[in-house]
């Protein structure tokens, strides 16, 4: 199978490295995702284990087009009943870059018609369309001259790990959070051959997304263990293989060392949300959770990794109020976190100037359509210098 896996911009290299461990072949980085070849087993494995992909799409057809009827004929040629049953609902989505066609809604309708018409011809009835919770998702991508038709093997997007519930969504999607933790170096090996960092802290934890991803990464826990995937309901789904892969994934989970994961926030609602999510994923005993302001807080260990998404104001007045706090955040980092590495993800590209700190690395990323950076700062001794004594 030819597959395409989109991911948040800036995580493509991480996704390439990850896919190379899943048995996928011809893995190729492209803007906003990764292309590869997959067997049934490697497709299942990628859905279950990928921390960084947004979804995994299987290519069904590709070809030139000029008008809507060309797209209808392309979709009409696919034997859809060989992929999913008429009893399952489906949804079609269309995205385009420089397409000459005037209405993407009309294009989407024509693809829907083609699917239903082919089902009627092959099975005598048609599946229902569901825009909210479809069993299967079909994706059409249009360039200026070429159309590519995919079926989504993931179903719900892969950043939905299965613990927030149908309505729950974090401001920071889980796959982007996992990418931030990985780029910050949480699982990096140090010069001594051991893990570089033993202690993790998010001092502005929001709903706990970053600390949960850090815990799962350290525990080697597959992020898809709590959820199901659309390809499990395909006509040729191999249930025995799914059972085998899930059993192997559960056996690979490592116990966490207690008192090495910390999260805090100034807002009671954030602490309540984080506690609820930690409880839902069985991590409440593994994370030390505290309510308190970041300014002036002490480090929980002599060294470690701090990863956080500081708040960012949407309105100018909110932005200015937050920027006024930057020097206090900087002083806390300089005075309390010597020996640590701090990785801060923000849409404010001037953050480090306000902190008074120089980053070692800057990672350009996107949070949705928002241009962002993650600044990685080594907090070495000497940041908080004494004043030079006056001459006598």
Q: What CATH code is carried by the domain that includes residue 183? A: 3.40.50.150
The pLDDT value recorded for residue 386 is: 42
- Same-domain status, 136 and 28: yes
Residue 387 to residues 117, 232, 271: CA-CA distances in angstroms?
Answer: 80, 65, 39
Angle between helices 209-219 and 268-280 (to 10 degrees): 30
- Same-domain status, 297 and 215: yes
Residue 281 main-chain phi, psi, to 5 deg: -100, 10
Confirm whether 248 is domain-assigned: no
Confirm whether 362 is domain-assigned: yes
| Token pair belonging to 73 | 């004929």
Domain boundary among 152, 184, 208: 152
Average pLDDT of the chain to the nearest whole number:
93
Domain that holds residue 130: 2-152
The pLDDT value recorded for residue 390 is: 43
The pLDDT value recorded for residue 311 is: 85
pTM flag (> 0.85): yes
The pLDDT value recorded for residue 322 is: 83
Confirm whether 305 is domain-assigned: yes
DSSP 206-231: TTSHHHHHHHHHHHT--TTTT---GG
- Same-domain status, 216 and 321: yes
- Same-domain status, 120 and 89: yes
CA 137, CA 167: separation in Å to the nearest integer? 19
- Same-domain status, 291 and 361: yes
Task: List helix spans (H) across 174-305.
Answer: 174-184, 209-219, 239-251, 268-280
User: Considering only CA atoms, which of 374, 22, 314, 7 is closest in space to residue 173?
Assistant: 7
Give the dihedral of Cα atoms 260, 345, 182, 360; nearest 10 deg.
-100
- Same-domain status, 195 and 302: yes
Confidence at 31, pLDDT banded by 50, 70, 90: confident
Count other C-beta atoms under 10 Å from residue 243's C-beta.
Answer: 10
- Same-domain status, 39 and 116: yes
Q: Is the pLDDT of residue 196 over 80?
A: yes
- Same-domain status, 181 and 43: no
Confidence at 385, pLDDT banded by 50, 70, 90: very low
In the beta sheet, which residues pair with residue 344?
A: 308, 375
Query: How many domains, the chain?
Result: 2
Give the dihedral of Cα atoms 255, 275, 344, 216; nearest 10 deg.
20
Helix (H, G, I), strand (E, B) or coil at 137: strand
The pLDDT value recorded for residue 384 is: 47
| Token pair belonging to 313 | 């104001």
CA 187, CA 42: separation in Å to the nearest integer? 24
Confirm whether 159 is domain-assigned: no
- Same-domain status, 37 and 71: yes
Confidence at 30, pLDDT banded by 50, 70, 90: very high
- Same-domain status, 70 and 189: no
Q: Is the pLDDT of residue 169 over 70?
A: no
The pLDDT value recorded for residue 317 is: 62
- Same-domain status, 187 and 64: no
Stretch 52-63: mean pLDDT, rounded? 98
Task: List helix spans (H) across 262-337.
Answer: 268-280, 316-323, 326-336
- Same-domain status, 133 and 277: no
């Amino acid at each position: 199978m030819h597959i395409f896996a989109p991911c948040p911009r800036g995580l493509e290299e991480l996704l390439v490295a990850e896919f190379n461990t899943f048995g996928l072949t011809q893995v190729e980085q492209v803007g906003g995702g990764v292309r590869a070849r997959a067997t049934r087993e490697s497709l299942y494995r990628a859905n279950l284990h990928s921390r960084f992909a947004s979804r995994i799409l299987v290519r069904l057809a590709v070809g030139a087009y000029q008008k809507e009827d060309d797209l209808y004929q392309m979709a009409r040629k696919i034997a859809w009943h060989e992929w999913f049953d008429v009893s399952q609902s489906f949804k079609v989505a269309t995205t385009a870059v420089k397409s000459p066609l005037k209405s993407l809604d009309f294009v989407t309708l024509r693809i829907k018609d083609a699917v239903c018409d082919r089902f009627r011809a092959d099975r005598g009835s048609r599946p229902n369309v569901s825009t909210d919770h479809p069993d299967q998702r079909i994706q059409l991508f249009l360039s200026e001259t070429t159309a590519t038709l995919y079926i989504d093997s993931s179903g719900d997007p892969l950043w939905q790990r299965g613990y927030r519930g149908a309505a729950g969504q974090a401001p920071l999607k889980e796959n982007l959070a996992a990418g931030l933790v990985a780029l910050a170096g949480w699982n990096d090996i140090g010069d001594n051959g051991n893990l570089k960092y033993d202690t993790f802290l998010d001092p502005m934890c929001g709903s706990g997304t970053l600390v949960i991803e850090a815990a799962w990464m350290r525990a080697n826990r597959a992020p898809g263990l709590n959820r199901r995937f659309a390809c499990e309901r395909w006509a040729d789904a191999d249930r025995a293989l799914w059972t085998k892969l899930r059993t192997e994934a559960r056996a690979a989970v490592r116990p966490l060392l207690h008192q090495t994961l910390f999260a805090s926030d100034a807002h009671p609602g954030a602490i309540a949300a984080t506690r609820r999510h930690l409880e839902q994923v069985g991590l409440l005993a593994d994370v030390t959770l505290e309510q308190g302001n970041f300014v002036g807080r002490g480090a929980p260990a002599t060294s470690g990794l701090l990863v956080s998404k500081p708040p960012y104001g949407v309105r100018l007045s909110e932005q200015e109020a937050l920027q006024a706090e930057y020097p206090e955040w900087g002083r806390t980092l300089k005075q309390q976190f010597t020996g640590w590495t701090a990785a801060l993800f923000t849409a404010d590209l001037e953050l480090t100037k306000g902190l008074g700190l120089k980053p070692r690395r800057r990672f350009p990323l996107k949070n949705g359509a928002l241009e962002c950076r993650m600044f990685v700062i080594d907090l070495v001794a000497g940041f908080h210098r004494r004043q030079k004594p006056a001459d006598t």
